[in-house]
Structure 1
Amino acid sequence: MLRAMYSGIAGMRGFQTKLDVIGNNIANVNTTGFKAGRVMFKDMLSQTVGGAARPGANIGGINPRQIGLGSTISAIDTLHTQGSAQTTNVPTDMMVNGEGFFVLSNDGGSTLYYTRAGNFSWDGGTGGSPNLKSLVAPNGMKVQGIAVDANGNPINNVVTDIRIPDDAQSFSIDDKGIVSYVDASGNKQYVAAIRIAKFANPGGLLKTGDNLYTSTANSGADNPAQWTDAVAGQKGRGMLIVGALEMSNVDLSNEFAEMIVAQRGFQANTRIITTSDEILQELVNLKR
């Protein structure tokens, strides 16, 4: 009976974690580029009260007899399924239609962060002459790009911020992430290609807040054989949709269903503890 009580406690703890994850998913139902999480369970150790025996000439085999000791969390996965597109018509908004992440940095590219949220904008610029303004995320991190030649073709092994002069007449970003602008003289100038990172195991990325991820030992590294491949549409990377944002992939109907399952599971485990307590009380009352 005490085993049942501790199994109930383990079950309550697991379903509480599941409710925590569901609550976070629902809280981020409108977060741009958010990827939902899910909780998976596994059984804990089992106490063997009888071993297995092989069949003999006159008797059949015997299966092992074991008593489970509760459940625990086996994994908290991040589901990197595609979120729906929301059209904004803002020329600096973009989303990756397929696999890949935008790359951000706040220290000149030494430390990299990855995101699916493409709500970018131009900052105020460097203040020099000419004043060069950079494409940045809402937290101020600069969007990383690959340098391009005069025809807009990516140049291998040259990584750069994405900047345009303040006096540019207009700018544009195509579905391959090539950024260009029309200068004060009316000539078209190519700036850079937006860098897109791709990982062998996106589920292994570590969430760091602010819609950001960092790589881990199990995600693999973003080290393309050629940096010219680290752009949209290359080596399995998705194309860009400019003027749109990727919304959260949280499915509210599924989350509410999972919430009901978790709530009932929590209640059932509390019932196990209550029943175990009643049995212990009966044992105490035997002496009376």
Structure 2
Amino acid sequence: MLRSLYSGVSGMKGFQTKLDVIGNNIANVNTVGFKSGRVMFQDILSQTVSSVSQPEDGVRGGRNAQQIGLGATVAAIDTIQNSGSAMTTNVTTDLRIDGDGYFAVRPAGMEEGFYLTRAGNFTLDAAKQLVTADGALVLSSDGEPISLADANSFSISSDGSVIPVNTDGTTGDAIAQIGIVKVPNPGGLEKVGGNMFRSTVNSNVDELAIGTAEDPDTGTGSVVSGQLEMSNVDLTGEFTEMIVAQRGFQANSRIITTSDSILEEVVNLKR
């Protein structure tokens, strides 16, 4: 009887976490480069009330174990790294990666290393440096900030090369090439806010592994200028999962109220 109470509580906690993740997904449905999350459950260790026995020829047959589960818990909160839909903006500094790979950015206060992002809504600051909306520096394939101080206008090719455009319409040599990072295990990245991810020991990103787009060795895809990758949140799926979580929460709360009613009857036996 008490086991059912604790099982109901564990289920309510799990579905509350699921609703928290769903709420965050829906809140970021229009966030550029946002990657949605999902909650996966697993059962808790079961209590064995009768152990298993093996059969003996001509004496007795085998018997299976009798186990009572002790509820559910959250097994994982995964980040879904599928690409979001493309939105055309026709802004040169808006970039989208068509394929795998992440932009390498360096926030203020970080002297070395980089964070990763799929949000390519970049702009130019007063020093003509390519930066994110929060002012983080966009890094080139050399791991250095991209400065456009000597170019009046420019274009960005599919391999990430920043090409200056002269006033007469001619083009010059590439100023820099936007760095693209291939992540062996994108699910192992850690969200740090601001549409950025941090490498972990399970994402297996070499701190010096900034590559380039259209590299056949790294397979990081190509860069599309004038487009943005939007959130990969599917509202239809999220609202469906919200209904499932709501009903699951209600069902587990009914377990608690039913167990409480039975306990009340047991207490009233003394009267």
2:185 alignment counterpart: 201
Alignment partner of 1:190: what SS? coil
Alignment partner of 1:279: what SS? helix
Contact between 1:182 and 1:189, CA under 8 Å: does it hold in 2? no
2:250 alignment counterpart: 267
Contact between 1:32 and 1:245, CA under 8 Å: does it hold in 2? yes
Contact between 2:104 and 2:138, CA under 8 Å: does it hold in 1? yes
1:67 is aligned with what amino acid? I
Q: Deviations over 1:96-134 (max 9, x none)?
A: 111110000135760311100000011111xxxxxxx11
1:53 alignment counterpart: 53
In 1: Cα distance, 2:266 partner to 2:219 partner: 65
Deviation at 1:183, TM superposition (A): 5.1
2:33 alignment counterpart: 33
Does 2:190 match 1:211? no
Contact between 1:100 and 1:237, CA under 8 Å: does it hold in 2? yes
2:148 to 164, 174, 178: 164
- Structure 1 segment 139-288 matched on structure 2, within 5 A: 139-146=134-141, 158-165=142-149, 168-182=151-165, 188-222=172-206, 230-234=211-215, 235-288=218-271
Contact between 2:113 and 2:207, CA under 8 Å: does it hold in 1? no
TM-score (norm 2): 0.94
In 2: Cα distance, 1:33 partner to 1:191 partner: 26
In 2: Cα distance, 1:217 partner to 1:96 partner: 24
Alignment partner of 1:9: what SS? helix
Does 2:137 match 1:135? no
In 2: Cα distance, 1:123 partner to 1:136 partner: 7
1:111 to 100, 110, 113: 113
2:124 is aligned with what amino acid? W
Does 2:16 match 1:16? yes
1:200 is aligned with what amino acid? P
- Mark the runs of 5 or more structure 2 residues left unpaired by the alignment: none
- Structure 1 segment 62-73 matched on structure 2, within 5 A: 62-73=63-74
C-alpha distance 119-203 of structure 1, shift in aligned 2 (>3 A) = same
In 1: Cα distance, 2:91 partner to 2:242 partner: 36
In 1: Cα distance, 2:186 partner to 2:89 partner: 27
In 2: Cα distance, 1:184 partner to 1:63 partner: 83
Deviation at 1:87, TM superposition (A): 0.4
Q: Deviations over 1:181-202 (max 9, x none)?
A: 1357966132111000111110
2:126 is aligned with what amino acid? G
Say how many residue pairs are matched: 266
C-alpha distance 271-187 of structure 1, shift in aligned 2 (>3 A) = closer
1:61 is aligned with what amino acid? G
Q: Deviations over 1:192-238 (max 9, x none)?
A: 1100011111000000000010000101113577x6xx101112101
2:27 is aligned with what amino acid? A
Contact between 1:80 and 1:203, CA under 8 Å: does it hold in 2? yes
Deviation at 1:38, TM superposition (A): 0.1
Contact between 2:155 and 2:162, CA under 8 Å: does it hold in 1? yes
Task: Give the structure with the larger strand fraction.
Answer: 1
Which shows bigger deviation, 103-112 or 34-43? 103-112
2:122 is aligned with what amino acid? F
In 1: Cα distance, 2:152 partner to 2:179 partner: 24
RMSD after superposition: 1.6
1:53 is aligned with what amino acid? S
C-alpha distance 242-187 of structure 1, shift in aligned 2 (>3 A) = closer
2:97 alignment counterpart: 96
Deviation at 1:274, TM superposition (A): 0.2
Q: Name the % identity.
A: 56
C-alpha distance 187-284 of structure 1, shift in aligned 2 (>3 A) = closer
In 1: Cα distance, 2:268 partner to 2:97 partner: 67
1:44 is aligned with what amino acid? I
Deviation at 1:86, TM superposition (A): 0.3
